[in-house]
Every structure is written in structure tokens, then in C-alpha cells.
Structure 1
């Protein structure tokens, strides 16, 4: 353990480039890390079913998904933090009144609150270039554990939701969509469940990210690296800043912090 580190990677804009492709230099770097005995993990806002192909390609079975609400260590679920059911019911009612669609997400699937193919849902989810798309089931959240919702709204419309729903956090990930999370839930919190269980000291913890949902992670992890394409808020709290994802940013960052030659 003395020379072993754990490295957490965000997916979109970090592992994957702007075309949602995995750069060859990044793939090689991940396998080089593992060959040196390091633990490699993913920390993402995506649902588990939205990146199973990436996990398979990179042979990674430890991950923090749903921005920290569903955590898996070496193939075993070790922590879950679902949305409050009563508050979610109230959110559903308010969102319908405001004509803001919702997508409910559990560990296995996602369903939409509106029947027709909504433009905001279609536009934002298609940017992820995933094979799955939500079908209509307005009651899907009832009797199930939901770990995240997508609220579809534009501008700063989430501000009114923030004021009304104190048990949720609202984090924008797309001009048309906001992640709805349990209050205080974050990648940082989910990561801590893994590092505590494995016993990694803070100086042996690394994290790479680029988005607003990476801010808490980059603030908490001792060896944090923001991508060159990262949001200003992410760069402001990171210990290091590497090159852009499309400029071999992962490889450069790992070399910069001394994990690879």
C-alpha cells in the first residue's frame, strides 16, 4: 500500500473527449497505472447503465456513480443514498405545474414524467451518446429507490426549486438540464466511502475532473487535477491543471503528478 495510489476519473470531458470518444493515450495510461499496481476508479454523474461499456473497455469495477449516490467497490455495492421519496413526490407536482419534465433514475433504468418525445430531454441526453433513452412512466419513482433525477429547464429556472426544496441539491450539467441530488450528496462523499474502506491516506488519493459536479471532489482530494477544458469553478479549487482532454490531458496530468513517466 505504501507505493500504491487510487485515482478517480470523471467521464465526460475527462476520460471521454468532446466527441465522447476515449483517446488512445488515455486508455494506455489507465492500463499503465494498473500495471504499476495502482487502483483506478471512475467518479461520474452518470447512471451505472450509462457507462458499462467504458467500464468493460478499461476493465474497471470500482466506481462512484450518480454523483456519489451509488458506490461500487470491486463489483460490490457498498453505499447508496436515495432521494427522499416525499420530497420527490412534491418536486414532481411542482415540475408538472411549471412544465418542466423530469427523468427518474434508479440503479437499473430511467423513466420520463412526460409521454411525448420532449425536445429538452432528447437534446440533452443525446449529447451523452448513450444507447439508452427514457420511456414514459410517470409513476416509476413510486416504490423504488431513486438516486438522481434530471430536471429539464433553461436559464436559471432551478433557482426557484433550490428555494423550495431544501432536501435536494440542483447542479446544472447541460443548458437544458439539471441534476437533482440528495442534499449534500457529491462525488467527494461517495469517494470517501471507497478510500476509507481501502485505507488510502490522503496523499495517495488523486482525482481528475472538469465539471461543476467535480468541484467538491477536486476540493476534497489532496492530489486533484482539473482538465484544461474544465469549468473555471473546477480549475479554481484544483491543486493542478493539466491540458485539455483532446490534447492528451489525462496522460499529461498523470505525468505531471508523477504517477507515470
Structure 2
């Protein structure tokens, strides 16, 4: 019996780079997704993004699964197998803090967002290819998967100590603090997928470029690191050419050739 194989792709810095104007995978990358499927691979996305941030750039191919929000939201064959929003109390306290300091904030849900009008978060999300039809300026969902707070960089250190219950990232170009779930990771999401599908880790492949990919690099059987990643990550696998050279596509073609597929 032929063993099932799973291949996962990070988005930013792997398939796309919106800062360089590469806002969707190339046509040949979409063709590679199809070739992988034809040769028995399950093809999935593993990203810190949520659904409204992937539907536009990935339109044209129906993936077998989506490991989103760094493992806090996982969809497999159309079924949600993990849905873990941020703690409601922590979210409300963060909103209260932002309001008390007159800071702009935005809330991302599994399929939409609440934003304040005339701020910097909406242009940032639009640049990142968010589905702008999914934005609500009037009310917000109580299941929040990610928060953004706009705060000048020189003042960020004054408030980040308030966010010990979260993982943090920073969008320096927009002076944004990105607040994420502390208790999930891409690796925890992948574990749930492998358990459900009964796939051995030796038959898993992953392409990534970020420090939030380290756990999953260590977990899969075959990891591939983008050349545009930080050099500290090169130790985790063979290096692919950068996004602008369509490195993921080129490496996929090598994988298929090596396996005589």
C-alpha cells in the first residue's frame, strides 16, 4: 500500500513576499501544487495568516488543509479540527488598555476583522492582500485570533510588558504590535493533522523561512529553508532559492524528479 505523504508551505517569505510586490504564488507554483496532488501528496498551507489573508492570494487551488494563525485555527478537508481563539478576558483587557492610551487597534477573527476607520491597520491589511470585504467597522466578534495595536516604535517597550499572556511580533514599517496566541504553534497544529490522517513524520515535507517555523522544521521528515530566511535558520534543511526566484517551485520539481514521479 502506498504511504500517504503530506507537503506544507508557509506563505510569507516562501510562496509570496508582499513587501516586494509578490502578492500571490506564480502560475507555475500553482501547477506544482496540482502535480504534487496528482502524485499522491496532500498539499496544505501552514501560516501565521488567517483565512481572509489567504483566500485572495491562493485563489485558484483548493488545498487539502490550512494550518492557520500559527496552529490556533486548523482546517482539514473542510472540517475545523482546531479552533482556539485568544482568551476573551485577555482580549478585553488589551482593548481597554489600547483605548486608555488612545491607540488604534484591530481585531482579526477566523473569517473577518474589526477595524477602526481612518487608521493605519486597514492599509496594512490591504497591502498584505486581506479580503477587504471581510472588514467590519461597527462591531466585532468575541472570538479573536489576532490583535494589532498601532504604537510608535519608541513607545512600544512601555506597553509590551502588559502582554505577557501573548506571543508578540512587530510590523516595523507600520509601527504595529501583532498579538498572537501563546499556547499554539505550527508544530502543535501539525501534530493534530498527522494524528487525524495517520501520516508518519518521515513522509512530511515543509517549506518555510521564519523563526516561527523552527519547531516544524525539527518535526517534519524533510524541511526546506528559503534563501531569504535569516542565516540562523539555514541549519534546518537544504536551502531553496529565494521567493523572487520561485525557489519553492524549483525545489518541488527536484523532489518529484528525485522520487521518479
TM-score with structure 1 length normalisation? 0.85
The two structures, once aligned, show a CA RMSD in angstroms of: 2.5
- Structure 1 residue 221: Cα displacement: 2.9
Q: Contact (CA 8 Å) 2:224, 2:236: kept in 1 or not?
A: yes
Instruction: Quickly say closer, same or farther: Cα 1:76–1:13, change in 2 above 3 A.
Output: same
What is the match of residue 162 of structure 2?
164
Unpaired runs of 5+ in structure 2? none
- Structure 1 residue 21: Cα displacement: 2.8
Name which of structure 1's ranges 76-85 and 146-155 shifts more when overlaid on structure 2: 146-155
Q: Contact (CA 8 Å) 2:126, 2:132: kept in 1 or not?
A: no
- 5 Å-filtered alignment, 1:1-261, equals 2-17=2-17, 18=20, 19-112=22-115, 114=116, 116-118=117-119, 120-132=120-132, 134-137=135-138, 140-141=140-141, 144-155=142-153, 158-173=156-171, 175-176=173-174, 177-233=176-232, 235-236=233-234, 238-256=236-254, 258-261=255-258
TM-score with structure 2 length normalisation? 0.85
After superposition, the C-alpha distances for 1:126-170 in whole angstroms (9 at most, x for unaligned) are 321333164424x525xx211222233343755555432322111
Q: Output the CA distance in 1 between the equivalents of 2:182 and 2:125.
A: 23
Q: How many residues align?
A: 253
- Structure 1 residue 219: Cα displacement: 3.9
Q: Output the CA distance in 2 between the equivalents of 1:36 and 1:83.
A: 38
Unpaired runs of 5+ in structure 1? none
Residue aligned with 2:99, SS: helix
Q: Contact (CA 8 Å) 1:55, 1:61: kept in 2 or not?
A: no
Q: Output the CA distance in 2 between the equivalents of 1:248 and 1:205.
A: 21
Residue aligned with 1:41, SS: strand
